[in-house]
Amino acid sequence: MIVLLFVVTKSTAQTKEQIAFEKFYNESLSNGQSYQMLSYLTGKIGARISGSPQAAAAVEWAKQMMKQLGADTVKLQELMVPHWIRGDKEEGNIISLQSGTKQVPVCALGGSIGTGLMGITAEVVEVQNFDELKKLGKKKIKGKIVFFNRAMDPKKISTFEAYGGAVNQRSSGAVEAAKYGAIGVIVRSMTLSHDDNPHTGAMHYDNDVEKIPAAAISTNGADLLDKYLEEDEKLKFYLKMNCETLPEEKSYNVIGEIRGTELPNEIITVGGHLDSWDLGDGAHDDGTGIVESMEIIRMFKILHIKSKRTIRIVCFMNEENGLRGGSKYFEEAKKDTVNKYVAALESDRGGFTPRGFEMDTDQATVNTIANWKDLFAPYHVNEFFKGGSGADVYQLKKVKCLCMELVPDSQRYFDVHHCANDVLKNVNRRELEMSAATMAAMVYMLANM
C-alpha cells in the first residue's frame, strides 16, 4: 500500500514551475481577459497611428488598464513621434488605350508625400528589384512611375522570411526609383494572399534624393497591371493621394511594473506596440501583443504568483513608423545605473497559436532556455531557436539584455498585416489566449530562474 501510494504521488507530483504553467494556461483559457481587452482596444479606440487622437486614447487606456489590473506602478515615458496622415483621397487607375481604364485598389505607404490635387499620370516601368532599375537607367525611368512587382515567395515556410525577401521594395523603393528620375512608385502589397486589399507599411526618404509619392497596390491589382502592361507597355497609371506629414506630436510609452520580491532591480521587459497602422483596427498588429502583455499583470496578481525580478510591461509607441518608443526605452536603459536589464520579451507577430521563441543571444543562453522545453511541451510550444528578437527590444542587446520574441504560427499573418483585414474578427479567441498564457509562462521563468 505504501509503495503504491509513493508511486502514485511521485508520478503525479508537479514541480512548482509545472504548477505555475498550468495555472497560467487554465486561467487564460477559462477566464482570460485578453480577447475582451482587444475587443475594447480595436472596437472602441480602433486604428491608432502615431500622433493621432486614437493613439493618445490608447495611451490613456493602457495606463488605466494596467492600474486596474493591479500593476504596482504605472508611468508614462515621454517621447516625440512622427505624425503622418493618410488624407481622404486615394485613387489608382490603369489607363490603356488598348485595354481600357481600370481602377485598382491602392493606398499610400506610410510616410509618403501626396501627389497634389491633380494626382500624377505617367507611363509605368515594371521591375522586380533594384538591379533592374540600375540596368534600365535614367533614360528608361525618368518621368515614369516605377512598379515594383516582386512577390513574397510562397515557398518560404516562415512567412516572415518571405516578407523579409520582398519588403525592401516598400521601404526603399521610392528612394531607389527617384535616383533614376521616377516621379512615383507603386509597390505590390506585402502579402501572400491574392486579394483586393492594399497593404500599407513604412517607407523612408533620403535627404539627398528627391521625394516621390509611394503607394501599395493590392496583389490582384498588381497582377492586373502586370497583365495590362504585357498587352500595352505604353499604358499610363493615374495615382492620387493627399497624405501628408504634420509636425511631430508628443506621445508616450506606457510602462507598468510588478515589483520583484527578491531582485527588484533586475528587470524583465515585456511588451508589444500600442500604435498601429491606420487601415484595419490594429488587431493582430499589435493589439494582441499589447493585451497578451496586459494579461500577464492580471494573471500574476489574480493567481498570486510571485516574481523574484521586476516584470516591466511596456506598451511601446511608434513601432510602425519611427521606432521612437523602442529607441527611447533603450536610451533610458543605457543611462540607468540602478537597474539591470536581464531579459526582454516582445510579442509582435500576431495573436496566433504559439509555437516557440526566437532569441537574440549567445548559444549557451539559448540552450539554457531550450532546456525549459519540457515545461512548454504540454502546451505544444516546442521551438526555441537563436535568431533575431523584436523591433522594440532588439537594441537592449547592447546593455547585455537577453532579447527574445514570441513566435506564433505565421501562416495567416500577412493576410491581415497592415491592411483593412486586421480587425478583431480575424483574431481567434483561443489562439490569443494560448499566446497570452505562453507569454506569462516565459515571463515567469525569466523572472524567477
Does 25 sit near its own copies (CB under 8 A)?
Answer: yes
Per CB under 8 A, does 238 bind its own copies? no
Q: Would you say 72 and 255 are in contact if contact means Cβ atoms under 8 Å apart?
A: no
Q: How far is CA 409 from CA 221, 377, 412, 432, in A?
A: 28, 16, 8, 11
Shortest Å, Cβ 247 to its own copies: 42
The DSSP annotation for 5-58 comes to: HHHHHHHH---HHHHHHHHHHHHHHHH--HHHHHHHIIIII----TTSHHHHHH
Residues 424-443 binding its own copies (CB under 8 A) are 428-431, 434
Contact code string over 136-155 relative to its own copies, x by CB under 8 A: ------------------xx
> Which residues have C-beta within 8 Å of that of residue 441, sequence separation ≥ 6?
20, 21, 24, 25, 375, 376, 379
Is residue 26 a contact residue for its own copies (CB under 8 A)? yes
Nearest-angstrom CA–CA distance, 179 and 146: 12
- Kindly state whether residue 340 participates in binding its own copies, applying the rule CB under 8 A: no
- Does residue number 257 form part of the binding site for its own copies (CB under 8 A)? no
User: Which of 196, 136, 137, 146 lies closest to 172 in space, CA to CA?
Assistant: 146
- Non-local CB neighbours of 111 within 8 Å, separated by 6+ positions: 82, 84, 202, 203, 204, 205, 245, 321
Select 261 or 382, whichever has its Cβ closest to its own copies.
Answer: 382
* 328 vs 129: CA distance, rounded Å: 34
Q: Does 43 bind its own copies (CB under 8 A)?
A: no
For the segment 375-404, give every residue that binds its own copies (CB under 8 A).
Answer: 378-380, 382-383
Stretch that binds its own copies, among 21-29, 90-98, 163-171, 256-264 (CB under 8 A): 21-29
Q: Residue 22 or 132: which CB sits closer to its own copies?
A: 22
Complex with its own copies: residue 20 or 174, whichever CB lies closer:
20
Q: Does 411 bind its own copies (CB under 8 A)?
A: yes
Q: Which of 123, 223, 266, 409 binds its own copies (CB under 8 A)?
A: 409
- Residue whose CB is less far from its own copies, 219 or 253: 219
Q: Decide: is 412 part of the binding site for its own copies (CB under 8 A).
A: yes
Chain residues 49-68 in contact with its own copies, contact rule CB under 8 A: none
Q: Which of 176, 286, 360, 415 binds its own copies (CB under 8 A)?
A: 415
Q: Does 190 bind its own copies (CB under 8 A)?
A: no
User: Please, is 97 exposed, middle or buried when counting C-beta atoms within 10 Å of its C-beta (0-12, 13-18, 19+)?
Assistant: exposed
CA 359 to chain centre: 17
> By CB under 8 A, is residue 281 in contact with its own copies?
no
91 vs 196, beta carbon nearer its own copies: 196
For residue 22, the minimal CB distance to its own copies (Å) is: 9
The nearer residue to its own copies, 35 or 252, going by C-beta atoms, is 35
Q: How far is the CB of 280 from its own copies (least distance, A)?
A: 17
**Side chain identity, residue 227:** K
Q: Which of residues 24 and 252 has its CB atom nearest to its own copies in the complex? A: 24
- Counted residue by residue, the chain has a size of 449
Reading the block at residue 391, the C-alpha cell is 523591433
What is d(CA 196, CA 189) in angstroms, rounded to the nearest whole number? 10
| Rg (the chain; Cα; Å) | 24
Shortest distance, CB of residue 413 to its own copies, whole angstroms?
Answer: 10
Q: Are 435 and 293 in contact (CB under 8 A)?
A: no
Total residues interacting with its own copies, rule: CB under 8 A: 26
Say whether residue 405 binds its own copies (CB under 8 A).
no
Is residue 130 involved in binding its own copies (CB under 8 A)? no
The Cα 226–Cα 337 span in angstroms is 57
Residue numbers 148-187 binding its own copies by CB under 8 A: 154-155, 157, 159
Q: Give the Cα separation of 283 and 44 in Å (integer).
A: 12
266 close to 406: Cβ distance less than 8 angstroms: no
The nearest distance, CB 393 to its own copies, in angstroms, is: 24
Task: Pick the closer one to its own copies by CB: 15 or 411.
Answer: 411
Supply the minimum distance, in Å, between the C-beta of residue 405 and its own copies. Answer: 16
Decide: 279 and 47 in contact? Cβ < 8 Å: yes
Task: Give me the residues that bind its own copies (CB under 8 A), please.
Answer: 25-26, 29-30, 154-155, 157, 159, 192-193, 353, 355, 378-380, 382-383, 409, 411-412, 415, 428-431, 434
